[in-house]
Each structure stands twice: as C-alpha cells, then as structure tokens.
Amino acid sequence: MGTIIFFAILIILVLWIMASCVRVVPQAYSFVLERMGGYKATWDTGIHFKLPFIERVARKVNMKEQVVDFPPQPVITKDNVTMQIDTVIFFQITDAKLYTYGVENPLLAIENLSATTLRNIIGDMELDETLTSREVINTKMRASLDEATDPWGIKVNRVELKNIIPPAAIQQSMEKQMKAERERREAILRAEGEKKSTILVAEGKKESAILDAQAEKEAAILRAEAKRVAMVKEAEGQAEAVLKIQNANAEGIRMLKSAGADEAVLTLKSLEALAKLAEGQATKIIVPSDLQGIASLATSLKEIVKDQ
C-alpha cells in the first residue's frame, strides 16, 4: 500500500514538473528565459519548452504601447517663475532583453529622466514662451527621452504636457490681463459696429439724395417737355388763326376783284381798317399824307350811292 502511494506521488510530481516545463506565450508578450542564472533566449508568441530546474522564465515583458502619467514636477523658468508641470509619456518596449537587463526600474528611470529633461528645457524659456510653446517642449522631450531610453530597449513614441500650473499670483495677473484683452476686443468690435452702422446710414442718405435729385431732374424734364408741347400747340393754334385770317382776307380781295371794285372801294376799305385801328389801345396813329384825297374819294362815293 505504501509503495502504491509512493509511485502515485512520484507520477504526480513528474507530471507537474513536465507541465511546468511547457509555457505558452500570449500575443503581445515576450518571455525572457535564463539558464543557470544567465540569459538564454527570448520567447515570442507561441508554445515553448524549457529544461526543469536549470532553466527558468526570468521576466514576462508586455510589448504593447503603455501610458505613464507622472505627477507634477516643479520647474523654474528663465525669468525665475516656479511652476508645476505634469507630463504624460507614451512608450513601447522594443527589446525584452535590454528592458530586462538594461535598468533596474525602467519606469522610475523614465520618470526621473523626464523630470530632469523638462527642467533643462523650461530653464531656457521664459514664462510666456513656456505657456505658448507646448508643441516645442513636447518635441524636444520626446527626442531626448527616446535617445536616452534606447539602450533600455524602450522607444518613447510621444510626450505630452498635461498641465502647466503657474503660481497663484501669476494666474491672477493673467486672468486680469485676459479680462482687459477681452474688454479691449469688445470695445473694438463695438466701435467697428458703430462705424459700419454710421457708414450704412450715410450711404443710405447719399443714395436717397441721389434718387431725389434724379427724380427732380426727371420731373423738371417732364415739365419742360410739357411746357414746350403746350407752346408748340399754342403757336400752331396762332399760326392756324393767322392763316385763317389771311385766307379770309385773300378771299375778300378775290371777291372784290371778281365784283369789279375800283380804286375808290379799296380806299374805302383802307378807311375802315384805319377806323378799327383807332378803336384799339394804341397811343399813336400815323395818318397818311394823302388824307385829303381820301376825303374827296369819300364824297364821290356818297354821290354814287345817292344816284343809285
């Protein structure tokens, strides 16, 4: 009975040892294998076997990109302003062997290295430049950290300044400056709005005056045209009346000629015209020199009438 138990324990022990010699490396991981305390190999994704007792997995290394958020670090600018800056670093392990044997505590080493690098960069910059040059600081830190961590099998992909916290007094002065700047911009915008409004009103008045002038011009042209037409019509009427009078006179003369009127009749007509002229509003009347002859002609006409 004791022998059976012994063999059973022995078999279980052998199976356990054999199972411990089989390792499966998952995706995005690497295992560092040591034999007798020295580096033997690096296992990638898949199934692997090791010798019992003399070989062991020294470290399981995560090969995925990792993110580390370091606490704020006190830094001093070129113009002697102390501020707190915390950084976020994105890094990836590229060589499991160098990462295992290159440095004792990689994360602590990266944190201290980032703090010293940040102090060196910020020490050459003034406060205003620091607040407006995040991208420049990120680029310089990434290049410096990537070069320094390369012997450790680490690649720094990206560095970001998460927060830049200046002293309280500086923050208050910055807020006042920002408020003054906003008020200045508001005043400028208000002045520009009033200016545009005034310009629009002036342009409106100008266009209105131009339209009024054009309307007055067109009205004057229409009035002048109407007056000209009326004068033309009046002149045409007078001309027509004169023409009718002349036609009537001509007709009378033709009738006299056709009736056989002599010089005495014509003289009589002249006297009638003279009488009509005297009835008018003229202040001066010119009497012909042969008025005596005309009087004698009138006497002759009276005798002719009596004989008839």
Token reading at 173: 């002065």
- Could you give all domains of the chain from N- to C-terminal order, each with its CATH number? 2-62 (no CATH), 66-166 (3.30.479.30)
d(CA 174, CA 132): 13
Give the position of tokens 């950084």. Answer: 87
Three-class SS of residue 93? strand
Token reading at 169: 């007094």
Along the 308 residues of the chain, how does pLDDT read in single tens digits? 667 787 778 788 878 877 778 888 999 999 999 998 889 999 998 999 988 888 888 899 999 999 999 888 889 888 888 889 989 999 999 999 999 998 888 889 999 999 999 999 998 888 888 888 889 999 999 999 999 999 999 999 999 988 888 888 777 877 788 888 888 888 898 899 888 988 988 888 888 889 888 888 888 888 888 888 888 888 888 878 777 777 776 776 677 667 655 555 556 555 565 555 455 554 555 555 554 455 454 444 444 444 44
Question: Whole-model pTM?
Answer: 0.55
How big, in percent rounded to 5, are the helix, strand and coil portions of the chain?
60, 20, 20
pLDDT tens track for 61-89: 999 999 999 888 889 888 888 889 989 99
Cβ-Cβ contacts under 8 Å for 83 (sequence gap 6 or more): 74, 75, 77, 122, 127, 130, 164, 165, 166, 167, 170
Three-class SS of residue 254? helix
